[in-house]
């Protein structure tokens, strides 16, 4: 459910307790402006460079961000997870994940902080950006996974320490995307997840890593569908039945 920020005048979390983590690969055209806009809001920024072939690393450093350069490409989600582990090691209480392409507005950062006072995870949601095909996919995934979130693929989120520990764990490393699988993992740990409305800009340059080709789209749909189906009862019942039968005494042959 999307929350309104007009009520509940809660105190703000100290920005020094929060680290903005940006996974980036070949984003030299946008990364500098994104970092400067975030720093102007009073936040520290960590860029996890996912083996860029352009000048992303140098521009990020010149713009004032901490940079972790990866030796080889590990994907946006695992790069984000690297940033979360860095935040835990350096005693940050919150992590905000953002994209490097300029789609996420730094002006929404304070809204995320505000809502995080009452929740473990907050998603900055923008359902208007979804095409008809994407909305149909969201509807299927929501029903299959039992979610009531509106924007399943938004990478603009804030995680508190409890949530950070969940997504930094080895189990989360097996995931490939920061959407349905991560939300399933968080809900399995009974964390409170909320949404706030935000606006998102069009990508200035480059292309989506997930939707860069029809092959990638097909892979994403199959992968996410299997994740959702793994939560359904027939599979769970089969596993539980197998385990319970294993623990039962063998019938007497006499």
6 secondary structure, DSSP code: S
Residue 68 lies in a domain: yes
Three-class SS state of 90: coil
202 belongs to a structural domain: yes
Q: Is the pLDDT at 214 greater than 80, yes or no? A: no
For residue 221, being part of any structural domain is answered with: no
Evaluate whether residue 216 is within a structural domain: no
Total count of domains within the chain: 1
> Are the CB atoms for 197 and 5 separated by under 8 Å?
no
pLDDT digits (tens, 9 = 90+) for 151-207: 777 889 999 999 999 999 988 887 876 677 888 889 889 999 999 988 766 555 555
Which has the higher per-residue pLDDT, 210 or 84?
Answer: 84
In a domain, 218, yes or no: no
Is the pLDDT reported for residue 13 higher than 70?
A: yes
- Calpha distance 220→224 (Å, rounded): 6
pLDDT in tens, 133-156: 666 666 667 676 667 777 777 889
Whether 15 has a pLDDT exceeding 80, the answer reads yes
pLDDT category of residue 211 using cuts at 50, 70 and 90: low
130, part of any domain: yes
Q: pLDDT (tens digit, 9 = 90+) per residue, 74-126?
A: 998 999 999 999 999 999 999 999 999 888 889 899 999 999 999 999 998 87
| DSSP states along 203-243 | P-SS--SSSSSHHHHHHHHHHHHHHHHTTSHHHHHHHHHHH
State the residue range of the domain holding 150: 2-207
List the CATH number of the domain containing 164: 3.90.550.10
């Amino acid at each position: 459910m999307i929350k309104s920020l007009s009520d509940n005048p809660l105190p703000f979390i100290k920005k020094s307790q929060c680290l903005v983590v940006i996974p980036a690969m070949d984003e030299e055209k946008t990364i500098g402006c994104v970092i400067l806009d975030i720093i102007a809001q009073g936040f520290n920024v960590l860029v996890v460079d996912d083996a860029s072939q352009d000048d992303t690393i140098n521009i990020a450093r010149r713009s004032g961000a901490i940079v972790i350069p990866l030796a080889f490409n590990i994907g946006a989600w695992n790069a984000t997870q690297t940033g979360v582990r860095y935040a835990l090691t350096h005693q940050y209480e919150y992590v905000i994940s953002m994209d490097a392409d300029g789609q996420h507005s730094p002006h929404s950062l304070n809204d995320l902080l505000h809502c995080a006072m009452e929740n473990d995870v907050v998603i900055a949601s923008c359902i208007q950006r979804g095409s008809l095909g994407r909305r149909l996919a969201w509807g299927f995934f929501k029903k299959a996974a039992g979610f009531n979130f509106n924007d399943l693929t938004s990478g603009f989120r804030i995680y508190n320490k409890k949530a950070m520990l969940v997504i930094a764990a080895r189990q989360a490393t097996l995931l490939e995307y920061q959407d349905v699988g991560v939300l399933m993992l968080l809900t399995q740990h009974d964390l409170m997840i909320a949404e706030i409305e935000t606006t998102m800009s069009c990508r200035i340059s480059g292309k989506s890593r997930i939707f860069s080709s029809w092959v990638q789209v097909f892979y994403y749909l199959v992968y996410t569908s299997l994740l959702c189906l793994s939560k359904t009862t027939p599979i769970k019942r089969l596993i539980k039945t197998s385990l319970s039968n294993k623990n039962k005494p063998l019938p007497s042959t006499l």
